[in-house]
Every structure is written in C-alpha cells, then in structure tokens.
Structure 1
Amino acid sequence: MNRFIIIITLFFACLAVQAQEKKECMSKEQFRERQKQYFVEKAGLTEDEAAKFFPLYFELQDKKFSYNKEMWGKMHKIKESNNVSDAEYSRITEDLIKTRQTIDELELEYLRKYKKVLSPKKIYFIQRAEMKFSRELLKGAGKHRK
C-alpha cells in the first residue's frame, strides 16, 4: 500500500514539476516504459512473461489510481472548506481507510492473477523492484530540485 502511495505521489510530483519547468519530466507512457524496463531487468522476466504480466499490472495501477484520485478529491474539498465539522473529518478519515482496504483487496486479487503468469519468486522480485524503483525516482527528484 505504501509503495503505491509513493508511486502515485511521484507521478503527481512529476506532473507538478513538469507544469513548472516543462523540461525533464516523464509522461505517463514514459514512466510506465521505464518501469517495465526496470522490472524486467530486476525480476528477470522473459518477453512472454512480460507480455502477460504488464497488462495486468497496469490495469491494477489504473484502478488504484482511480480510487486514490477520488480520495484526493474528497480531501481537497475538505481542505478548501472553512467550516468542517468533526463528523466530516471522521467520515473522510473512515473513507480513506476504506479506500486503502479496497486497494489492498485489489492487490490480493491481482496477486492471484499474477500467480497464473509468473512464479512466486518472480512476483517477489517484482515487488522488490517496485520499491527500489520508487526510491530511485525519489532520489532523482531530490537531485533535480537542488
């Protein structure tokens, strides 16, 4: 869950930086292509495995992005409001947790799908690569800002 939040945050940060600088930021397609290359290398995926895995992976990413975008919209509305009651804060906090639970359930659903096309070992290496990829992007983003 946390790695997904990092990836989404990176994606939005990248878009924000692009809007400001319009220089070296990646499009969604470029980001995904770079991610694919990184995962293939780190997990040792064959062309056939990659062809079966990545449509599922990006389908999951799109679904998670949609849930998170909806949640960010709700949070933004509250941020913009002047008079927010405790009940509203409570509701939005519960909604956030429910959204996280939904995303976690999606992750499990897609893990079962991944197991049909990849070995558990390769799934593990992809998950590791996902975390490392996020960290490397964060390091790169930090260098850009200096």
Structure 2
Amino acid sequence: MKNYKLLSLLLFFFSVATFGQPGKFREKRDQVRSLKVAYITSELQLTPDESAKFWPVYNEFEDKQMELKRDRMKSYIDRFESSEKLSEKEATVLLNQMESADDELHQLRKKFISTLKTILPSVKILKLKKAEGEFSKKLLQQYRDKKIRR
C-alpha cells in the first residue's frame, strides 16, 4: 500500500512537471498504462472472458481514482503553500477535508473490490493487489535507475 501511495504521488508530481508538454506526458502515461495492463494480465493469468469483463471495470476505477486524487491534490497543494498563514480553524478544516478524501478513496476501492468479486475469484483479486504493488516497485526502480544515470 505504501508503494501504491508513493507511485500515485510520483505520477501526480510527474504530471505537474510535464504539464507544459501535454503530448509527451500523455504518451508516457499511455506507455506506462500499456505496460501495467500487460503485467497485470500476465500475473493474474486472466482468461479471455475474465479479461473482457475485468479491464473496463479496472480502467473505470483507475480513472475515477486518478481524477479524485488530482482534484484533491491540487486543492491541498494550493493550501499547503500558504500553510504558515492558516489559522488553527482553517488547518482543522483542511485536515477534515483530507480525511474525507481518504474516506472517499476507500469507499471507491471497496466498491471496486465488491464489483470484482462478481468477475474474478478472490484469489485473483488478491493477486491483483500484489501485482499492482510489484508493478509500482518496478516502475519506481526504473525511474530511480534512469535518474541516477543522468
């Protein structure tokens, strides 16, 4: 889970850094998404029927999750930049909003897993969680290796 959050933050900051180059960012994002699809399909050993049902649900979940994180993170970053100017009451409101966003993400994930249970056996759902973590680790390692070589 820690790696998943780290990957989400990394992808968010990567998107902010490359915002001035939207075509290049979309290309990289699509590349990463393609690699992730191939990796997860391989790790879960999805049948064609499972794959046909799984990927639309998974992609919708990923899109909603990313949209929620992007919208919330933008709001938080704007407020964090002026955090020294926040009153105690404003800081409390911001923390409550952050907790609410975390709850919303948790509910989204619960709904996603509930839907997956109608598509995949529980063993494959657990494998999905593991595969997502392993993919994130590999992606982060490649990013670090690339950064070190520069």
TM-score interval, normalised by the smaller of the two chains = 0.7 to 0.9
**Where does residue 95 of structure 1 map in the other structure?**
97
For structure 1, which segment, 124-133 or 59-68, has the greater mean C-alpha deviation from structure 2 after superposition?
59-68
- Deviations along 1:79-105, whole A, 9 cap, x unmatched? 333621111111111111111111111
Which blocks of at least 5 consecutive residues in structure 1 are unaligned?
none
User: Which residue pairs with 1:9 in the alignment?
Assistant: 9
Larger mean CA deviation between 62-71 and 135-144 belongs to 62-71
Bigger drift between 108-117 and 77-86 goes to 77-86
Q: Provide the residue aligned with 2:68 in structure 1.
A: 67
Question: Which of 116, 122, 126 matches 1:114?
Answer: 116
The 1:45–1:10 alpha-carbon spacing in structure 2 relative to 1, beyond 3 Å, is: farther
Report the more deviating stretch, 117-126 or 74-83: 74-83
Q: Specify the alignment match of 1:127 in structure 2.
A: 129
Which residue, 137, 143, 146 being the options, matches 1:144?
146
The answer for the alignment partner of 1:80 in structure 2 is 81
Distance in 2 between residues matched to 1:95 and 1:129, nearest whole Å: 31
1:126 to 1:29, Cα distance in 2 relative to 1, 3 A = same
Q: What is the CA RMSD across the aligned residues, in angstroms?
A: 2.6
Aligned amino acid, residue 11 of structure 1: L
Answer yes or no: is the 8 Å Cα contact 1:60–1:110 preserved in 2.
Answer: yes
Contact 2:43 2:131 in 1 (8 A): yes
Moved over 4 A (4+): 1-4, 16-20, 22-26
Closer, same or farther in 2 for the Cα pair 1:139/1:108, shift >3 Å?
same
| Identity across the alignment (%) | 23
TM-score with structure 2 setting the length: 0.83
TM-score, normalisation: structure 1: 0.85
| Structure 2 runs not aligned, ≥5 long | none
